Structures are given as C-alpha cells and as structure tokens.
Structure 1
Amino acid sequence: MRSREPVPFQFDSSRYTRFVSLTERATNGPSIQFTTDQDWSVLVEAHAPGVFRLRIDTTAEGETTSRAARPSSQRYELLARDEAIGEALFEAVDGGFRLTQGEDVLNVLTNPLRISLSRKGVPVLTSIDEPELSAFGVGGLVGDDTQDREWTVGFALQEGEAVYGLGENVYDLDRRGEVLSTDDAAARVLPLAWSTRGWGVYVNTAGATVHNVGVDAAAGYLAGWRDINLDVFMFLGDPSEILNQYSQLTGRAGQPPLWAMGAWVRQARGAAPELAVDLAAQLRERGIAFDTVTLDTPGAWDVRSRLALEWDGKRFPDPRQLLGNFKRHDARVVLPGFPGVLQSSTMFEELEDKGWLLTDATGGAHAFPGVAATGGEAFGLLDLTHKDVWTFWRDKLRQFQDDGVDAVACDAQIEMPDDIVGRHGDSASRLRTAYPLLVKRCLFEAASWNKTPAEGVVLSRDLLPGAQRLPWQAATPVANTWDGLIESIRAALTVGSSGVPVHMHDVGNPDMPTDALTPELYLRWLGAAVFSGNLRLQGSPGLLPWDFDEETQAHVRTWLQFRYRLIPYVLGVIEDSARTGLPVQRSMPMAFPDDPDAHKYGLQYLLGPALLIVPIVQPGTTVTVYLPKGDAWWDMSTGWRYEGGTTWTIEVGMDRLPVFGREGHMLCLGPAAQHTGEFNSARILDEVWLFGMPIHNPSVMRNKIRVMQMQGSSYVKGLEGLKILPSEGLEVKRRGAEVRISRAR
C-alpha cells in the first residue's frame, strides 16, 4: 500500500499577528466578551455541557454586513444550534479567567490569548505556546480578499497521541502525520478532530481550511482557514460524548426509507437502461435478494427549453414505461442527476442572462469541461447560492419523484478554477465546499418533501461540513484486491469517526481490473459488506454473482438472505444515530477509548452497540480476534462465551465471519426476504438472539422493546409472538405480553 509522506505546513507564520492582550467587556449568561488590540470582539462561551466556544468577530459593532460578508457558517447554515445552552461559573485567575461547567474547566490567559481545557482536574487540551510558533496560538491577518481573513489555531499533542476524524482515509485510522486541505478534493476532509484523551475540535467554517496533524516540529494539531471570523468549538468527553455533542451542534441525519436498507446493484458501465431491467429480472430468477438498481451516468435529464428539467429523450424515450418495468420486478430506481446546463443547450445563454449560472472573471457564465455526468459535453453550473435557483432545481426534481424515480445520485464536487464566483461573491475556495453541500440539501428536500418525519436518500461521495445531516455516503472506489477490501473498510470507519452515520460498501469496482477477484475474496468482501450500513453489488462482467461457480453463488444467496434478516437491527441503529450521532460502523478507538489493546486491531469494528465484526482480509480460514475489555462476548456461530481482554485464533469457513454479540445485548432479526416489499409492516421481527442476560434495550427499527431488571431477572416487553434464542444458562418464560428471562435452575 502507498505510504503517507508528511507535507510541510501551508501557513507562513510571518504573515500572522498574535493577539497581544484582551480587555474584558461584558459577561452575559454562559459567555464572557473581550475586545482585542484590533477592537475586534472576542466571545468565550460555555456553549453546552462539555462544549466550549471561542469566536472572534472582526465586524465593527453596529456595522451592517451584506450576505457576502457574513461568516460562511451562517451563510450555509452549518450550525443546527447557534445559541448557547450551557451554564458556567466565571472567576478571575492570574493572567486571565476560568469557566467551570461541572467537572469541565476552560482556562483562558489573555496576554497573549491561550487556552487550556481539563476534566476532573486532568489537563486534556492546551494551546501550543512556543515562541517560534507564537502565531499559532490564535491569530489573524487581513488577506487580499476584504471579505476574509486568515486564521490559525494550534493545540499541543502528547508524544504518540493519535488523532481521529477529519474525513476519509483508506490507509490509517490515525490522522497524525498528515496535512489535509479542503481545497484538495482528493483529501476528502471533514472538520471534526478528536482524541481518546478526551478532546474534540471543530473549526466552524466553509472557507478553505488546512489541518496539519502533528507534522510541524512542535508536534501539535494546527488548523488554518480563511473566513471573516474565527469560530472554534472544543469538546470534552469520550468519543461517544463528543460525537453526540458535535451532531447536536451541527445537525443529525434524516431517516432513510425502508427500501434503501435492502441490497443495491449498479448497472453495467455504458449499458442501455433497458439492459438494467434485464439485470433486475435475472437477479430475481436466480433468487439473489436485492431492492434497488442504480443507473449509470450521464444524467437522466437536463435543463432545456421553458426552464424545465426534461428527460434525455435518446436514452429514455418512454421513462414512465421504463420505470414501470423496474417496478414489475419489485426494483427501486436511482437515477443520476446533475445541476448542470449543457453549453450546447438553448437555455445556456438565457440562464446566463438571468444570472442563474456560476460566473468567472469575465463576468459571463463559466463553461466547465465535460464530465461523466454530462456525457463529456461542456456545461454551466446552476448557481445554487442563488435562492431562486436552488428552489427551482428542488421543485423540478420533485417532478421526477412523481414520475417514479426513487432517489437521485449526484457527485457535484468538480474542479472549480480560482476565478469562479457565485451570486453573492462566493469565491471558488468557498464554493468547493459549499456547492456540493447545497446540492445534497436540495436533493434531500426534493426526496423528503411529503414525508413526516423527513425521509430520503442522497447517494453521493462528496464529503463536506454538514455531511452528517444527510444519510447515505456512497462507497469509496478501490481496487478489486485484498488491499482494496482493507481500504474500503478503513474508509467507512474513518468517515464514521468524522460524524457521518452511514457509509455504503460496493462489492467490487467495475472501473478496475477483476483478475485478482477470486471467489474467496468476493465472498469475504460480501460478508463484510453484509455487516455494514449497506452494500451494493455490481452488474458488470466479472463482478456478477453468476460469474462465479455454483457453490459461490449459493453462499451469495445465503449472505444476502442474512442481510435482509439484519435490516430491523441496522435500521434501528441508523434511527439511533439521529439521537446519539454515533455511526453504524464504530472503530475500536471510538467504541473502546480506554482499551489501547483494542486500538491495535484497526479493521475490527462494532456494528451498532451489540455486534463485534472481524472482517477477513487475507486468504485462508484462520483469523486472529481481539475481544475488548469490559464485556464478555458470545460467538454467534457457536454460542460460546469468551471473556473480554482476550485474543483468539479462530477457524472460519467461507459461509461465515467472526461475529460476536456483546453481553447484555440482544439482536432482533427479521424474516428472510427477496426484497423489503415482502416485509410485513405489522410483524417486522421474526426472532431474538440473547447474548447473556439482557440489560440494554435493543436497537430495532420503528419498534419499542424495553428491558427492565428486577431481582436477578430481566423482564422484556415487546417480544410477543417472537422466537427467542437464549444464551446457555438462561431460561425464558412468557407471561402474557411480558417475557421473563432468568438464570436456569
């Protein structure tokens, strides 16, 4: 695999000034305000329990600001909750002051400005405070763009301290030793960083941002960005607390529909839409369970005459009939869409005159070179920073939902030259982040507009601030090799560690050679994907289930049947994400921050709260398993119980994966099905597996199963009519609607 090479930090310290002193101005509720040497306003705030905020406003008091001069976080609504809900005790200390929230303390020194955070008296996060890096405490300098300033903050890291989050990485969960820039689309950056020491940092901006994670000689975490204001949130707590507070602050995901939880399949590259109908028919005939077909680019429609979105008549001469053909095979349809207008279209000039397209230095609409979504034709981009344009595109997309389209796939992150400008003066560096955010929100509103609660799917690979609000992160393209399998797992775990709840896994990549994709690798890949947020098969030659032998096909059918049985649990975990902010797939550092031995097993993960998954990522039937401390674990294949904090070597055949149930939890399974349309909404569950004496309420979709303990037994309500498989040493007794689980006598 490719190694990571450190990149020098991108910011020149000589261009920054450090705030020499702050003058206290006012105390208001949970916050205290200061004035800097530059007469800027500084707000230090106990924003929420375990959350502190540092904000520097460079706008003069009483000055009115245009929309273009507002902080990017306000313009793009990056915060779901801007007002503070915390409470704090303020007291003066030598050289500064202290804010105390229960066990959490923020110390602020004001000459120069530095901070330190502690929990239960233990220092957790401090500013870098070295003379040669004085600019990296907190500083700012007016840039060439009068709307923006350049900011940098720096926090000290301990020797060997790992840093997690910050977006997708296929090489390592630990981001230390990397420099990540939002201006580099390949860097796949997200704004939350955290450590198992108990801190998290979120830079609240859509401006161009660079994260330097321990590359500088000071071995600190440095963040630099361009925006009008400085706005940084600091969290205290274990990873689950940090993600909980982060998602409350920045917004949580909407719900996916039930059909999205079934297996997906992607149309072969370049195949006609009618052939995708044939693919759906073959899958049904062969008994391979699936729900959804995604069609290939280019986009299925375009903005043409009369300011309407019109179907591509060449590829879709009768779209309603085509969609009806899919429905006859109980298949949902996801079509590619794109907010572009072909330069050859009659509407390009008209929309340019209306000011509805992104412009360049000439003042005219910029013509982007062709991409897959436009079939290689040059195009202009609808300026979705313009409210009228955004509303127009959203409302037109709803028409296709009415035609029978179930969802839209759109990767809007394209190469934007530096001279691109939006309606309100948005620069290219800001649009690189903001534009795909606006696209995804628009698509989700179009899909969920008539559903309560909001429910829909937006299939996209774009990563950006606010990505955690929208369910369904598309899979990471990797090679069809064992290393590719490893990279796909790491991508899901790092995106989840950055706050995104659901990451899809593609079983194979049609754009890469398939020579190394043996039946063994295919089944190991499929087995891991079954225990994930969701999965997609490939409809391309060399990747179809029937391209392998009969035994392999039988295993494929078995794995997919179990995936459908898992749907009530996985969807329940996703629904829990809307309350906790935790992802479906949880890395070992996230799930077990106090067990450093677990952190060494970077490819193991928790699926929700109850299941420990050990993917098999190399040829053979032998795998080493580490069972984390603090819990006992039950082998789902054998029913054997293992103590936590132990390591085992296990033999596994091609028909199973090492999966362990966490003691005190239960797994609620649905019936076997070929698609979610076969589910009985009145009886979505079929049986329950117990992992020792149940203590915790289970994760179950749209169901309320409650566990209560009394006198050494557990009493469970909500299991009426279900088969219950107890662990060894337990007995089950039913009393009407209540189930009693006790030790066997």
Structure 2
Amino acid sequence: MNLDTLKLLESSASKHLFDAGSGSRLVVEPHAPGMYRLRIGESDAVASDLPARPRARAQAEMLLARAEVIGEAELTVVQEPASWLIRHGQTGVILGQSPFRISLVRFDEEDRMHPVASSTSDGICHQDGHWSVAMELRPDEAVHGLGQTSTDLNRRGEYIVSDDPAHRALPLAWSPTGWGLYVNAPGRTDHDVGVDDPNAYRVYFQSPVFDIFLFAGDPGDILNQYTALTGRAGQPSLWALGAWLRQPRDCSASQLLELVRKLREQGVCLDAVMMREPMAWSFNEAKLSLEWDAERFPDPKRALDLFASESVHVCLPTLPAIKASSSTFAELEDRGWLLANEDTADACVFTGNDVTGGDDFALLDLTHKDVYQVWTERHRQLAEDGVAAVSCSTQFDIPDDITARSGESGAVLRTLYPVLTRTALFEAWAGNKVPPEGVVLTSDLMPAAQRFPWQAPTVVEQSWGGMCEAIRLALSTGSSGVPLQMLAIGDESQDPATVDTQLTLRWLAMAVFSGNFQFENPAALMSDKWDDTSREAMAHWMQWRYRLIPYVLGAIEDAARTGLPVQRSMAMSFPADLVAHEWDTQYLLGPAVLVAPVTHPGKQTEIYLPEGDAWWDLATGWRYEGGTTLTLEVGLDSIPLFGREGHMLCLGPAASHTGEFNSARILEEVWMFGMPVHNPVVMRNKIRVMQMQGSSYIKGLEGLKIMPSEGLEVKRRGAEVRISRAR
C-alpha cells in the first residue's frame, strides 16, 4: 500500500475508488451531508457497505445503524500533482499526495473554500493489522467527546483506551472548530489527544480494514449525523422522568414502600425505586428458568402489585451470570453456553460482586443466538410480570484468552459484550412498542450507547467539588452522543447528622434542571438538620421537577430526531463563543433554557450569557443581551435560569408522582421568551408556530395559560393564538 501514488479507478456520485498499491483500495463515500467515510483494504473487503461473512456483518450492524450511502458528491482535480476534491453540498474532503493528506473543507455563501481540519504529514500508517491516523491540532484547539470525564470537558492532553472500563471511553471525537472523527472498528482504539505530540490528535486501532468517518459542521450537525449513522435512542416511559430513590441497606420491600409514603408526605415527590443488589432471582436448570429469592420476595407478584397500587415503579438489578457454585453452571459449561477458554472449554470464572451476592460466576455467551434469545425471553417475562426496569452493567475485564462461541475475543469481545447485554434487555422491555419504549440502566459506556435513552447515576463525593464533577459527567456523556446521564444526589455512606442542607438544595436545584436524578440516601432526606424553611425549599424544587417533565421528555424525543442530548455543554451549543466554553458547569437544558448552577457556598454567584442570543431571566422577566456576565444574589429556593429568545417553555401541573398526571391534559402553561419563533420542545409535540407580518400564530395552546414576555400581547382566535407587539 502506497497512498502517495493513488490512482483513481472509478468515480460515481456515491463512491470514489482509488488504487492504493499492493492490491489495496481506498474508497471514499459522501455518506451524508457533512460526513465522509474512508475505507482502505483489500478489494473484496471494501467492496460493499457491510462485510459478506455473517458474523462480521452482525458485528458491523452492532456499530452502524445505517450503512448505506445517502449522499452524492462530485469529484474534481484541484491541483497538480493530482489532488482530488470530493464535494457534497457546502463541505468537501480533499485527498492530497506527496505526502498523502486528508483535508476537510467548507464553502461559504460565495463558494469560497475554507479549511476545517487536516491530517498530519505522516498521514495514515499501517502495520500488522494496526492502523493510525492523526489530525493536526492548532495551539488553542479543543477536542470534546470520547466518553465520560469529571474534569475538563476538553480532552486535550489525555490518552484514552476504548476497552479499558476505567477510561469510560466512547468513540466520537469533535472540535468546536467544526470537525469530528469516528473510528468504525470493534477492536481496541487508542486516542492520543496531544500527549505524544501536542499538536496532533492521533488514533490507533486494530482492524483488518481502515474505516473512519470524518464530519464537517457545527457540533450539533456532527452529533446529528453521528447518531443517524450509529443509531439513536428510543424513549423512556413517562414515569421514568420522575424522581428515583435507592433502596437503603437492610430495608425490606414493605419498609421501602412505607419510606416512599413518608417522603411524599414531606414533599419529596417520587416515582421509582432502585432495588439494591444482589439479584432478586437466579437462573436454574438448562433452560434458564427464573427462580425468585424466596427470602426477599416470598410472593413477587403481590409485592410488585403493592408497589404499583401506590404508583411506585420498581427497578431491579440483573446480570447474565451463572453462579459457579450452582448445578446450572456445570450443565451450561458442558453445553457451551458460557464464555470459555477456546482451548480447554473451561468457563471463565469471575470474582463475585454485589449483584451475585459475592458468589463467583460465569457469563452467559450472548453471542450464541440461542442463549441470547432465552435470556431476552426470560426478561420479557419479568417485564410482563410488572418489573418496570432493570439495571445491568457488564463492562468486565474479560481475559484475552477467552473466546466467544462466534469467535470474538480480546478487545472485540470486551467491546461487544456490553452492547449485546443492553440490546437484549432493551428488546425485552421495549417489546413491540412503537416507538420503542423502555428503561435499562447501566454504567457501561460502549459503542452504541447512544441507542438507549440514558445512563445510570454515578455517585461522587458529596461536596461542592463533587457537584461540579457530577455536572461534567453529565455534559461529557452528552457530548459523546448519549441522550441522558442520570445524576446521583447523596451517598449512602453519608451520616445523616452531617448533612449540609445548603449543598443538598443547590445540588437538587441543579438536578431538577437536568435529565433526571436519584436520591442515594433516604436517611439524609429525613435528617433533623432540615428545618421548616429548608424543607419548603426542597418541596419547591420537587414541584418544579414534575412541572418540567413534559419539557424534559420532549428533549429526549428531540434527541431521537437530532442526536442532541438533554444537557448540552457551552462548547456544543455555542462553538463560536470561546468565552462561553470556559463556563463549563453552565449548560442548556434542551434548546430553550440556560442553567447556571450555584456550585459554591453563599448566595452570590456569577453567570455568563452566551453571545448571539438575547436571554430572559425566568425569575424577573428581564431581558439581557448575549455576551454579558452577571453577578446575582440567589436564595436556596432559586437557581439562575434564562430563556433563550424566540423559544418557549411548556410546563405541566404540580404532582407528587406521574400517576397523578392527566394524560389528556399533560400541559398547564407556556412561558414565552420574546416573540416565539421556534416550535417548543415538549412531549408528543403538537404545538406549531408560524410567523407572518411581525406576529407569531400558534396552534395547539388550547386551554393553556400563556405567560408572554413584557411588550407582547396575546389574542386568542378559536384554536389559534396570535402573539404580537403591544401597542
């Protein structure tokens, strides 16, 4: 292979084929607007969008939801020695030679070409099945995405390994300057973001074929195309957007239900309980029948019905695990249904964890279609019996000498096993619902994580610094394409007598204006440290949460259409405003609301309103121009919130749980931030905005209270509302 002597073999609107030397081919495809796929390999390997071999095809489909090319591009020679421009609309990719370079470009309204990003002078390297490609980085250029972090959202200066669970990696990288990169390979991928060479982002990956996607566009465009390519989430059930509570230790199911009742009486609205480990059932016999833990759940149906009667939804932990001490273990080992050493056929035994009650275990081989089907069916049975959701994390350090039935091993198996686990569980709970709807919580991060609604909460230190970490965890997960990262409030190890009520209320206010959250320590919520004033503030925030549910669920539905997460970082939302990027604990909640959590003791705080928009203070109704820094006094019953001009915020009724919602009247009022221009984000959106002659005409606001901004007047005309300037 010698990319310095490329030879064009054939060109069509959807595929451009080059001879790369040594029997290799380079294929460039304008996969979609602003997205280009580059593949290098033997002719047969790059002949079609998906591999011919069934198992390789199945692996590819786990990574790509849409392999076919939907774009069209023209190819032109731009200079000598031969360089080729492959242009699709307002973006293009240039293949240069001597040395080989890849360059992304954009075209302005006058059709002038502007560089976006270029590979380094050493271009693409290949040795023994290992590939590398590097993009040049300017001195002040940031790189975002690549998974979860609790520190700097800019990943520059980090080295990230895809199949190391500690690295919390996801495969998409992007820059606010307008480019993105995704490596389409299930094996190990190393991301060197300016560590070895401060001026380059270099990616190493193991694969028989070089296969990358390059993106040109704003971060929102990149997330849109990336999630359309790799798959987007379904939606969770309405109840899942209510507050969650983790079951305390040594608390029975009946005691937990009584605890929910008491907290609701004190103004803590709740919808779901996360039952703690171990699993409430085990798998027995050859067909993996489920057997409930008789001590914890002597009558499972009665217990689930009792929770349901109180509008409490139960989430239980599960794991595709067979205890090594069970009779089922030997039986399934003989049948080849467990992950095992290929040479000896001995099942791989893992050290016991909380989910297995400390017992050592083996993992079901979910690459085996029969095992996958049986495990899915057993969990579908649980869903039908009334288990509302499950939590399951399987990102284990599977040894390299363990081989699955279908041949996967090493980094490929470590990458794909969590994908198979979560996909099977989502299939079990979504069933045949259209659109697919279900809740499967996991802490795993892996390719295809963005196909599922959200991630399980991550407990961090209960401190002001820990609160900042929690915000960055959520924003970095969203920046990598995952719609929603749940937040944890509290820590079960915390002594209730030491609860900092100011910190807890600030944390709660932030979590209310997030994707969703879970209380980790019920005892801390009932501590004597809470006086009447602070309890009133807590009840105030819980009511805000439930009023926001239609908007937040609408933002999740929006993620299924656009790929944009519920919580959006400043760099993602305002890529051209470099000052905004520095305010990395501020974020947009959906498209309409800027949230600036108070992350330090005291009432005084500073916020920054990004350039390019005007902003309306939800507390005062005052309008501010973007590019402004404000210093505010903020009580414990307040949080800096600003509506984006041209948008609306649709709110539902106050409630103690979603069971009190009237499905026929889920909305109660609408807040307007200046003249409405955009359709509002709200669940099952049927509200439409049309502008004409300086006024906005809105359909779908029947029966709703309308809160216009100052200077606007509202006139109702049957089913239509007219918003115009006050005379």
Q: Deviations over 1:216-274 (max 9, x none)?
A: 23520111111221110000111111111111111111011111111111111353333
8 Å CA contact 2:443, 2:456 repeated in 1: yes
Distance 1:477 1:405 in 2: 24
Aligned residue for 2:37, secondary structure, equals strand
Which structure 2 residues correspond to residues 29-44 of structure 1 after superposition, within 5 A? 29-44=13-28
Letter in 2 for 1:556: M
Q: Does 1:108 align with 2:92?
A: no
Report the Cα offset of residue 539 of structure 1. 3.9
Distance 2:448 2:219 in 1: 19
Which structure 2 residues correspond to residues 280-359 of structure 1 after superposition, within 5 A? 280-307=260-287, 308-359=289-340
2:116 corresponds to which of 116, 124, 131: 124
8 Å CA contact 1:152, 1:224 repeated in 2: yes
Which structure 2 residues correspond to residues 654-733 of structure 1 after superposition, within 5 A? 654-733=636-715
Measured at CA, do residues 609 and 657 of structure 1 come closer, stay the same or move farther in structure 2, by a change above 3 Å?
Answer: same
- CA RMSD in angstroms, aligned pairs only: 1.9
Q: Does 1:475 align with 2:462?
A: no
8 Å CA contact 1:21, 1:112 repeated in 2: no
Identity score, percent: 52
Aligned residue for 2:355, secondary structure, equals helix
Aligned residue for 1:47, secondary structure, equals strand
8 Å CA contact 2:497, 2:529 repeated in 1: no
8 Å CA contact 2:147, 2:477 repeated in 1: yes
Q: Deviations over 1:67-106 (max 9, x none)?
A: 56x37851x5211111111111112342332211122121
Aligned residue for 1:127, secondary structure, equals strand
8 Å CA contact 2:586, 2:595 repeated in 1: yes
User: Normalising by structure 1, what TM-score?
Assistant: 0.93
8 Å CA contact 1:523, 1:556 repeated in 2: yes
Report the Cα offset of residue 511 of structure 1. 4.6
Aligned residue for 1:475, secondary structure, equals strand
Which structure 2 residues correspond to residues 366-377 of structure 1 after superposition, within 5 A? 366-377=348-359
Q: Does 1:87 align with 2:69?
A: no
Alignment correspondent of 1:23:
7
Q: Deviations over 1:635-667 (max 9, x none)?
A: 111111111111110000000100011111111
**What 5-or-longer segments of structure 1 have no aligned partner?**
1-16, 143-148
Q: Does 1:157 align with 2:137?
A: yes
Q: Deviations over 1:25-77 (max 9, x none)?
A: 32233211123333123211111111111012347579997556x37851x52
Aligned residue for 2:611, secondary structure, equals coil
Report the Cα offset of residue 567 of structure 1. 0.6
Number of residue-to-residue matches in the alignment: 715
Report the Cα offset of residue 446 of structure 1. 0.4
Q: Does 1:186 align with 2:166?
A: yes
Q: Does 1:203 align with 2:183?
A: yes
Report the Cα offset of residue 457 of structure 1. 1.0
Which structure 2 residues correspond to residues 435-514 of structure 1 after superposition, within 5 A? 435-511=417-493
8 Å CA contact 1:262, 1:564 repeated in 2: yes
Measured at CA, do residues 106 and 273 of structure 1 come closer, stay the same or move farther in structure 2, by a change above 3 Å?
Answer: same
8 Å CA contact 2:13, 2:74 repeated in 1: no
8 Å CA contact 1:179, 1:215 repeated in 2: yes
User: Normalising by structure 2, what TM-score?
Assistant: 0.95
Letter in 1 for 2:68: E
Alignment correspondent of 2:624:
642
Q: Deviations over 1:364-409 (max 9, x none)?
A: 1111110111011011100111111111111110111111100111
Measured at CA, do residues 687 and 400 of structure 1 come closer, stay the same or move farther in structure 2, by a change above 3 Å?
Answer: same
193-202 or 536-545, which deviates more: 536-545
Aligned residue for 1:724, secondary structure, equals strand
Distance 1:420 1:449 in 2: 32
8 Å CA contact 1:179, 1:212 repeated in 2: yes
Distance 1:265 1:613 in 2: 24
Q: Does 1:97 align with 2:89?
A: no
Report the Cα offset of residue 570 of structure 1. 0.8
Alignment correspondent of 2:202:
222
Letter in 2 for 1:52: Y
Distance 1:99 1:83 in 2: 18
Q: Deviations over 1:430-485 (max 9, x none)?
A: 12211111111111110010312110111111111111110111122210111110
Q: Does 1:78 align with 2:41?
A: no
8 Å CA contact 1:162, 1:176 repeated in 2: yes
Which structure 2 residues correspond to residues 478-627 of structure 1 after superposition, within 5 A? 478-511=460-493, 517-544=499-526, 548-627=530-609
**What 5-or-longer segments of structure 2 have no aligned partner?**
108-112
1:253 corresponds to which of 230, 233, 241: 233
Distance 1:349 1:512 in 2: 42
Q: Deviations over 1:480-500 (max 9, x none)?
A: 111110000001011111111
Q: Deviations over 1:11-38 (max 9, x none)?
A: xxxxxx8745333332233211123333
Q: Does 1:364 align with 2:351?
A: no
